[in-house]
Amino acid sequence: LRDFLLVYNRMTEFCFRHCVCNLNYRLLTGREESCLNSCAARLVRANHRLMGAYVGLVPALLQRRAAEHGA
């Protein structure tokens, strides 16, 4: 849960800084909202790819550790 919240907070801060230009209004402009949606979607897709690679590597790492501890 902590790692998830860390990733979420970083993504939120990055996209906010990248997309929101004017803090004088209560609501987002259409351009800001569109930018935030695409920014968040890109980061979520990247995170999914990284997690997929991680999940693929974990069994090999666990086997290597088990072999090292067994030797």
pLDDT digits (tens, 9 = 90+) for 39-65: 999 999 998 998 888 888 888 888 888
Q: How many domains is the chain partitioned into structurally?
A: 1
Using the structure block, give the residue that is written with the tokens 């086997």.
Answer: 63
The HSE-up count of residue 46 (CA atoms within 13 Å, CB side) is 9
Q: Which domain holds residue 37?
A: 1-69
- What CATH number does the domain containing 50 carry? 1.10.287.810
**Above pLDDT 90, what percent of the chain?**
51
Q: Rounded to whole angstroms, how far apart are CA atoms 60 and 54? A: 10
- Assess whether pLDDT exceeds 80 at residue 1: no
Q: If we measure between CA atoms, which residue out of 13, 11, 29, 12 comes closest to residue 21?
A: 29
Give the pLDDT score at 59.
87
